[in-house]
Amino acid sequence: MAKIIVEKSKPLRGTVRISGAKNSVLPILAASLLSTENCILEEVPDLNDVDVICEVIACLGADVKRLERDRIEVNGLSIDNYESPYELVRKMRASFLVMGPLLARMGKARISMPGGCAIGTRPIDLHLKGFKALGAEITLGHGFVEARAEKLIGNKIYLDFPSVGATENIMMAASMAEGQTVIENAAEEPEITDLANFLNKMGADIKGAGTDTIKINGVKKLGGAVHTVIPDRIEAGTFMVAAAITGGNVLVDNVVIDHLKPVIAKLKESNVEVIEEGNGVRVIAVERPKAIDIKTLPYPGFPTDMQAQFMALMTVAQGTSVVIETVFENRFMHVSELERMGASIKIEGRSAVIEGKSHLLGAPVKASDLRAGAALILAGLVAEGSTEIGNTKHIDRGYVRIEEKLKSLGATIYRVEEEEEE
């Protein structure tokens, strides 16, 4: 197993190109099960999670070909299996997103329960509520969720919380249901719009994606499409914080500025300069950042997937910051690791109070989840000495060649292979 070693680095400088969005490509690959013709996906990020979802859809009978490192061709014509096993679903929760497409194509799906993870229990009740509203019968048992429907019929579905995954799963199932489905209090994340755009290119009739009300008129068949995955706003935000925390000057290229509004607003509030430049944003930090308060919220609010990275920035800011996590009930696992590096953070329920320090000290730490791992890399860039980050598999789920990209900006970061790791 590998460790990532980060040394205190100079201010980062240069240009970094952002890859396609993990959280877009996963539902889009699940949606390709609905196709009966070739779909070509471009700007596919080279990530472990992408390998897992490809394995899941291939195991269901889809034809999946990697044309190039960032191009995949998929055809769902030959799907013949409706069961996704524990070994695959346990590797990645997003595997559960095949349930909607399977129900639509085969009228049945049997998927291992995804279970919780380090950041929370992450129930699937809203996904199931949506499938039931479309006419599916749901049974749970032996660690599996089974859904069956002779035919899916459109309905009005109100989500108690704008869940990203539930919105996606229901939208995919409804795209081939009979009649109209309206999802109310739908998630508005850019990845929902990207999925809807892909489905519409395949022949679906979806309107309102990106707002809280999505209207889906079911169609009988979905065909092929060529689609370019949107840039990853969370990878972009992570590199923006890397520039800010090191007092650097970095052009974060290939982004959609609109998707980064909450991140840009918070960086500016903390005294970091952010300038639009072509398809990118230049981030310039000349002084130590100022403390700021953050509350995570569904889009267009501040993303929970950027909370840990901003907390790393706040550990070295001037003053005291408050971070409130409202999306996941247990997303402060990075706090104890940042404290090992000398950060001063107090947790009270869903709030963390961070007293900015003039410096951190490198230490051996562990990534408990993907963004916690990213936060530790960021803290390591400014900590005195060496930071050794274990459990790198979490980081590799969501960042394409992160050490290479940071190294190209002047960071001292490398990976070592270890004999054993928990």
Ligand X SMILES: CC(=O)N[C@H]1[C@@H](OP(=O)(O)OP(=O)(O)OC[C@H]2O[C@@H](n3ccc(=O)[nH]c3=O)[C@H](O)[C@@H]2O)O[C@H](CO)[C@@H](O)[C@@H]1O
Ligand Y SMILES: C=C(OP(=O)(O)O)C(=O)O
Q: How many residues does the chain have?
A: 422
Which of ligand Y, ligand X, none does 371 bind, CB closer than 5 to 8 A by kind?
A: ligand Y
- φ/ψ of 302, rounded to 5, equals -70, 130
CA 145-148-153 angle, 5° bins: 125
Residues 316-335 that bind ligand X (CB under 6 A): 327-328
Decide if 117 is catalytic: yes
Q: Taking CB under 6 A as the criterion, which residues in 340-379 touch ligand Y?
A: 370-371
| CB closest to ligand Y, residue no | 305
Strands 249-253 and 13-17: parallel
Per-residue contact track with ligand Y, 21 to 40, x per CB under 6 A? --x-----------------
Binding ligand X (rule: CB under 6 A), the pick from 46, 87, 125, 418 is: 125
**162: annotated binding-site residue?**
no
Q: Which does 401 bind (CB under 5 to 8 A by kind): ligand X, ligand Y, none?
A: none
Strand partners, 353: 322, 346
Residue 327, marked binder:
yes
Our CB check for ligand Y shows the closer of 162 and 248 to be: 162
Q: Which two tokens stand for residue 169?
A: 């799963």
Q: Which does 409 bind (CB under 5 to 8 A by kind): ligand Y, ligand X, none?
A: none
Yes or no: say if 307 and 263 are a contact pair by the CB < 8 Å rule: no
Interacting span for ligand X (CB under 6 A) from 12-20, 98-106, 116-124, 239-247: 116-124
**Minimum gap (Å) between residue 89 Cβ and ligand Y:** 12
The item of ligand Y, ligand X, none sharing an interface with residue 166, based on CB under 5 to 8 Å by kind, is ligand X
Per rule CB under 6 A, is residue 396 in the interface with ligand Y? no
> Do 69 and 140 meet the contact criterion of CB atoms below 8 Å apart?
no
- The burial of 419, by beta-carbon neighbours within 10 Å (0-12 exposed, 13-18 middle, 19 or more buried), is given as exposed
Whether 75 has a binding-site annotation, put simply, is no
φ, ψ of residue 239 in degrees (nearest 5): -70, -30
Q: Which residues pair with 183 in a beta bridge?
A: 157, 214
Query: Which one of residues 4, 18, 30, 126 is an interface residue with ligand X (CB under 6 A)?
Result: 126
The partner in contact with residue 124, picked from ligand Y, ligand X, none with C-beta cut-offs of 5 to 8 angstroms by kind, is ligand X
Q: How far is the CB of 218 from ligand X (least distance, A)?
A: 22
DSSP per residue, 102-152: HHHHHSEEEEE----BTTB----HHHHHHHHHTT-EEEEETTEEEEE-SS-
Are 94 and 47 contacting, i.e. CB atoms less than 8 angstroms apart? no
**CA gap 83, 267 in Å, rounded:** 45
The footprint of ligand Y on residues 256-315 (CB under 6 A) is 305
**Cα 126 to Cα 167: distance, rounded to the nearest angstrom:** 9
CA atoms of 28 and 33, how far apart (whole Å): 9
CB proximity list for 306: less than 8 A, separation 6 or greater: 234, 237, 238, 241, 263, 371
Q: Which CB atom, from 11 or from 310, has the smaller least distance to ligand X?
A: 310
Binding mask 5-44 for ligand X (x = CB under 6 A): ------------------x--x------------------
Which residues within the stretch 143-172 sit at the binding site for ligand X (CB under 6 A)?
161, 163-166
Could you tell me the sign of the dihedral formed by the alpha carbons of 92, 96, 97, 103, in that order?
Answer: positive
Q: Which residues are catalytic?
A: 117
Binding residues for ligand X, per CB under 6 A? Answer: 23, 26, 94, 120, 122-127, 161, 163-166, 187, 191, 304-305, 327-328
Sequence ranges of the binding site for phosphoenolpyruvate: 22-23
